[in-house]
Amino acid sequence: MTQGKKERTLRDIEYSYDLFDIAKKFLETEKQREVYKTMRKIFDADPMLLTDKQMYRRGGFRQSKRKQEFMKLARQIAVERGIPIYNRAVGIPLGQRALEPYLISGTDTFVDFDDVHHVNNAAIQQMVDDIKRTVILNLDIPHRVLQVRAGKEITPETVNLYLETIQHTMAGGAVAQEHMAEINPGLTKDAYVKVITGDDEIRDMIDRRFIIDIEGLFHPDRAKQLKQAIGNTMYIVVRVPTIAVRMADGGVVYRWAAMQSTMAFVSAYRLTGESIISDLAFAAKSAQLIQMGERTWFARARSQNEPGGFPFGFVADFIQCERDLPARKFLDVISEDLEEGRKYLYALSEGVGAIGAVLFDQYWLSFYMSGGIGFSTTVASAGYCGNVLEEFVESLTEMLHKYTKHVKRIPPKWDTIRWFVDLVIQYGMESYEKFPALTEFHWGGAHRISLIGDLAASVAGLLTGSASLGIMSMHYAIGLLMKEGWLRTGWAGQEVQDHVGTPYACSCRIEEGVVTELRGMNYPMASYTAGHSSGYVAAAAGSMIGRGAAFSTSPIVKVAFADPHLIFDFKHPRLSIAKAALRQFQPAGERDLIIGIK
């Protein structure tokens, strides 16, 4: 005390830092940010207000047109069957706060939040079905068996006859025996086979209807890399009908493909005799077979081609958002050209947000592992709704451009990349603290950690080309700085999961990790919860773009999902999801033709 006044010490002012008060000094600048404009549209209020004056006055569940539809339909069902069903009068009352509409990022489409639940969205279902129903078979080995064991001549004519025949058998048509039951082609019209090859001479001898045109679908830089990696061999990409994986599971896919492929060989080459057919069957279904996913470990037991077994590197190859861009190292691009660098970051954010997050957070963790809980929809939607990720990317692109000018190489070392990761984390955390409406929009800690963790993994992978540094950065962002900064030590802080995951981030031992691109959700050392899985995809996809590579793990898989005949658009995933939310997306696998009820 001096002259009646108390001296202020460091301890007295230690907690007087208020980011919201500081933000007022820069209010006009903050109002120019995309997140401000988007949140204002969504909430119809100033995103920086600390209180909601309409609380308890919003009309409950009636704010949502979709929930009104649910209630009307539920009453009808309850009357018809005599047992209650959906009823908003039970459980936690809805509507104390805003049931805000969701803007599909990159579009002008506002939808009810319920419309992006995976059970309500036909495009999300079809995306997973399109992956599950895909298997890739090598054609060189069975053709060699035909030459050596059966003495058959292989010509362009016989190969094209085989390809035409397999279109018939893959849809459930019979070729080798009489009195066989066949499938209504209207139920299997999405079943077909296409050829992938890196050799122009082989491509030219194949009927163009059966070719996936690498040069026509990819930027010339990427097409060159892919053709060189694939070489002078032939693969067929088999699309089993959607109805097959809806009636069975991903395990039926390679069996379906093997049977129909073998029968097509038998018919096209007029084969008889058990011995040769046995050898051919093995060659046609098992030699150089590429499935989209392996079996998961016993505690999470699922068949092949189920989401839990998809390697993260394959998911990075499913993503097609970057395929029109030159195959240049990201550091070279961002250091030279801000606008061009932004294109790469936008492509990565759309792919990871609308494919990686949906596939694992929404489908695997919510549906397969948690029994269909709707919470993970809110986590996944953080990546593809509200233009939030896009707004973060916009600012981070400018920062990366500023700090990498004249930089030719960033060594893949933690001490080097940590500064950039700290920048990402700090920017993300401050954005949430500046805009109360944004925190309300991403109302759970898992929403926020998924976004910031994905960005941390992406930036590390992009700048160094290392997926291992990407997952180190994800764990660092989620498990350390966010916990230190926000004191989140429960579920949203992911404390346990990241203390488990961090030590094994760079391990290549099978029981501890494996190379990042070859890990999947079945990797046993990680205790996965919402927000982690898409970070692994971000690390794999980001490092691919960082290296200037045309594919992450498999050139065959990358080309397979560029196929324009796929029902889900893996190049514009958010657009497909938006169309489905508006009831404008037509999936496959429906049974109207055999129901007979209109």
Query: Are 329 and 225 within 8 A, CB to CB?
Result: no
pLDDT of residue 397: 93
* Residue tagged 């108390």 (tokens): 6
Tell me, rounded to whole angstroms, the distance of Cα 364 from its chain centroid: 11
Q: Does some domain include residue 222?
A: yes
| 163 compared with 285, residue with greater pLDDT | 163
Structural domain span for residue 92: 60-116
Q: Does some domain include residue 389?
A: yes
Handedness of CA 21, 26, 31, 33 (dihedral sign): negative
Q: Is 91 helix (H, G, I), strand (E, B) or coil?
A: coil
Q: If you average pLDDT over every residue of the chain, what do you get?
A: 87
Q: Does residue 538 register a pLDDT over 70?
A: yes
**Other residues' Cβ atoms within 10 Å of the Cβ of residue 337:** 12
Please state, in angstroms and rounded to a whole number, the distance separating the CA atoms of residues 513 and 507. Answer: 5
User: For the whole model, what pTM was predicted?
Assistant: 0.92
pLDDT of residue 214: 97
Q: Does residue 494 register a pLDDT over 60?
A: no
Segment 206-244, tens digit of pLDDT: 999 999 999 999 999 999 999 999 999 999 999 999 999
| 490 compared with 116, residue with greater pLDDT | 116
| 368 compared with 473, residue with greater pLDDT | 473
Confidence bin at 554 (pLDDT 50/70/90): very high
| 528 compared with 97, residue with greater pLDDT | 97
Confidence bin at 555 (pLDDT 50/70/90): very high
My answer on whether 251 and 375 are in the same domain is: no
Alpha-carbon separation of residue 367 from 81, 190, 228, 423 (angstroms): 27, 25, 39, 34
**Other residues' Cβ atoms within 10 Å of the Cβ of residue 594:** 9
Q: Does some domain include residue 14?
A: no
Q: Does some domain include residue 74?
A: yes
Please state, in angstroms and rounded to a whole number, the distance separating the CA atoms of residues 434 and 493. Answer: 20
Across the range 3-32, mean pLDDT stands at: 61
pLDDT of residue 362: 86
Confidence bin at 347 (pLDDT 50/70/90): very high
Q: Provide the CATH number for the domain around residue 71.
A: 3.90.390.10
pLDDT of residue 433: 85
Lowest mean pLDDT among 131-145, 190-204, 279-293: 279-293
Q: Is 102 helix (H, G, I), strand (E, B) or coil?
A: strand
My answer on whether 140 and 107 are in the same domain is: no
Across the range 70-93, mean pLDDT stands at: 91
Q: Does residue 15 register a pLDDT over 50?
A: no
My answer on whether 229 and 347 are in the same domain is: no
My answer on whether 103 and 154 are in the same domain is: no
Q: Does some domain include residue 24?
A: no
Q: Does residue 20 register a pLDDT over 80?
A: no
Q: Does some domain include residue 112?
A: yes
Handedness of CA 360, 362, 365, 367 (dihedral sign): negative
My answer on whether 170 and 108 are in the same domain is: no
Please state, in angstroms and rounded to a whole number, the distance separating the CA atoms of residues 280 and 262. Answer: 7
My answer on whether 347 and 379 are in the same domain is: yes
| 92 compared with 106, residue with greater pLDDT | 106
Confidence bin at 506 (pLDDT 50/70/90): confident
My answer on whether 192 and 96 are in the same domain is: no
Confidence bin at 597 (pLDDT 50/70/90): low
pLDDT of residue 114: 92
Across the range 568-580, mean pLDDT stands at: 96
Percent of the chain with pLDDT over 90: 57
Query: Are 188 and 243 within 8 A, CB to CB?
Result: yes
Across the range 530-547, mean pLDDT stands at: 88
Please state, in angstroms and rounded to a whole number, the distance separating the CA atoms of residues 492 and 449. Answer: 7
User: 518 exposed, middle or buried (CB, 10 Å; 0-12, 13-18, 19+)?
Assistant: middle
Residues 6+ apart with CB under 8 A from 56: 95, 96
Point out which residues pair with 138 in neighbouring strands: 235
Q: Which amino acid is at 143?
A: H
Q: Does some domain include residue 472?
A: yes
Q: Does residue 507 register a pLDDT over 50?
A: yes
Residues 6+ apart with CB under 8 A from 366: 118, 372, 373, 374, 375, 376, 377
Residues in the chain: 598
Among 138, 132, 133, 130, smallest CA distance to 289 is for 138
pLDDT of residue 493: 45
Q: Does residue 367 register a pLDDT over 50?
A: yes
Among 284, 237, 345, 221, smallest CA distance to 565 is for 237
Across the range 427-442, mean pLDDT stands at: 88
My answer on whether 226 and 344 are in the same domain is: no
Longest dimension (CA), the chain: 110
Across the range 120-136, mean pLDDT stands at: 96
Q: Does residue 19 register a pLDDT over 80?
A: no
Please state, in angstroms and rounded to a whole number, the distance separating the CA atoms of residues 361 and 529. Answer: 8
Alpha-carbon separation of residue 233 from 38, 229, 236, 254 (angstroms): 50, 10, 10, 20
Please state, in angstroms and rounded to a whole number, the distance separating the CA atoms of residues 129 and 363. Answer: 11
Query: Are 425 and 456 within 8 A, CB to CB?
Result: yes
My answer on whether 338 and 241 are in the same domain is: no
Query: Are 435 and 39 within 8 A, CB to CB?
Result: yes
Q: Provide the CATH number for the domain around residue 245.
A: 3.30.70.470
Query: Are 541 and 454 within 8 A, CB to CB?
Result: no
Domain count, the chain: 3
Q: Does residue 143 register a pLDDT over 70?
A: yes
DSSP secondary structure letter of residue 291 = E
Query: Are 229 and 257 within 8 A, CB to CB?
Result: no
* Residue tagged 């050898």 (tokens): 279
Q: Provide the CATH number for the domain around residue 403.
A: 1.20.840.10
Please state, in angstroms and rounded to a whole number, the distance separating the CA atoms of residues 583 and 325. Answer: 31
Q: Does residue 426 register a pLDDT over 70?
A: yes
My answer on whether 323 and 285 are in the same domain is: no
Please state, in angstroms and rounded to a whole number, the distance separating the CA atoms of residues 477 and 456. Answer: 7
Query: Are 171 and 178 within 8 A, CB to CB?
Result: no
Q: Does residue 527 register a pLDDT over 60?
A: no
My answer on whether 140 and 281 are in the same domain is: yes
My answer on whether 430 and 349 are in the same domain is: yes
pLDDT of residue 498: 54
Please state, in angstroms and rounded to a whole number, the distance separating the CA atoms of residues 419 and 386. Answer: 28
Q: Does some domain include residue 41?
A: no
User: 14 exposed, middle or buried (CB, 10 Å; 0-12, 13-18, 19+)?
Assistant: exposed
Across the range 66-70, mean pLDDT stands at: 93
Q: Does residue 277 register a pLDDT over 90?
A: no
Among 393, 536, 433, smallest CA distance to 478 is for 536
Segment 41-52, tens digit of pLDDT: 888 888 888 777
